[in-house]
Amino acid sequence: MSIAPITTITLQGQLVDVLRLELAFPDIEGNKHFKLKYNLSHALEAGYRSVMTFGGNFSNHVYATAYACKQLGLHAIFILRGEDDSHNPTLKYVRNLGMETRFISRDMYKMRNMPEYIDTLAQQFGRIYILPEGGTNDLAVKGCAEILTGIADQYDQILCPVGTGGTLAGLINTPGLTAQVTGVSALTGGQDTLTPAVQKFILPHAQHVQWKIMFEKTMGKYAQFHPGLHKYLQAFVADHAIKPDPVYTGKMFYFTEELLKTGNWNNQRILCVHTGGLQGWAGWQYRYANAIARLN
């Protein structure tokens, strides 16, 4: 039994299974359930009352963190760069859940991973549990190693979208995995840094797993509007009755089709992991309403 429903669709004439984390964990945005579970249970056990994290103004990670902290009675603090925008749907949502938002300058934000900066935050806020931007750390990767529970030996190829790569690292670490794993990056940059960043989370038992990160470069930069991508997403929903998110899973499905066109995966058992992120549509419509209107 898989942890989430599986839907079989046809892409480029070939059957592809989709693991529907977006259905199984709708409120907490799919993969973020796995990234947060051990972090927040650890925070609670260690007696923390507040959780602080970083992210973009439309971040799925922040959205999920706000929701999970509310459920668990933890105070949540969100550090963002730039200026406030009271109409931003993600910000409205997290504030409704009681998350505190603090804006810092872009220059300060660049220091977000530096220990000295973290120390100053600790002085300001007291004892806080800090989740890095995107939420990736050892405990997040540990949680993501549970995504394929029950189906680890049933596929030849498994694909997932990549932001920071924590989810990909977790999939690779799945006990008993028989598949090759392909991560499709939602960012066009980071070719030199992302693979080593993922590698450092791979546990000894998984060192033999074959995996790689592909960079989808034709559908625009991270979270940027691209007419081709938007049209692809619309067609995908109409054809398959599965809604990808606009930032991550849309590019994964698109790139899966590109890979299938090569014929190299004929007769392979393929699984795409739908990591959720559907809250991203509100921000997408909000930011790109004009561009979308011009398309239709």
Distances (CA, A) of 19 to 26, 39, 134, 170, 242: 13, 23, 21, 15, 11
Closest approach of ligand PLP to the CB of residue 263, in Å: 27
- Among residues 16, 30, 68, 219, which is the contact residue for ligand PLP, using CB under 6 A? 30
Residues 256-285 that bind ligand PLP (CB under 6 A): 275-277
x/- binding map, residues 178-217, to ligand PLP, per CB under 6 A? ----------------------------------------
Our CB check for ligand PLP shows the closer of 43 and 161 to be 161
Closest approach of ligand PLP to the CB of residue 28, in Å: 10
Closest-by-Cβ residue to ligand PLP is 277
Q: 3-state SS of the chain? A: CCCCCEEEEEECCEEEEEEEHHHHCCCCCCHHHHHHHHHHHHHHHCCCCEEEEECCCCCHHHHHHHHHHHHHCCEEEEEEECCCCCCCHHHHHHHHCCCEEEEECHHHHCCCCCHHHHHHHHHHHCCEEEECHHHCCHHHHHHHCCCCCCCCCCCCEEEEEECCCHHHHHHHCCCCCCCEEEEEECCCCCCCCHHHHHHCCCCHHHCCCCEEEEECCCCCCCCCCCHHHHHHHHHHHHHHCCCCCCCCHHHHHHHHHHHHHCCCCCCCCEEEEECCCCCHHHHHHHHHHHHHHHHC
- Among residues 39, 53, 157, 167, which is the contact residue for ligand PLP, using CB under 6 A? 167
Region near ligand PLP per CB under 6 A, out of 71-79, 160-168, 224-232, 286-294: 160-168
Closest approach of ligand PLP to the CB of residue 148, in Å: 14
161 binds ligand PLP (CB under 6 A): yes
Our CB check for ligand PLP shows the closer of 129 and 143 to be 143
- Among residues 16, 19, 29, 133, which is the contact residue for ligand PLP, using CB under 6 A? 29
x/- binding map, residues 213-252, to ligand PLP, per CB under 6 A? --------------------------------x--xx---
Closest approach of ligand PLP to the CB of residue 241, in Å: 18
Contacts to ligand PLP by CB under 6 A: 29-31, 60-61, 134, 136, 161-168, 245, 248-249, 275-277
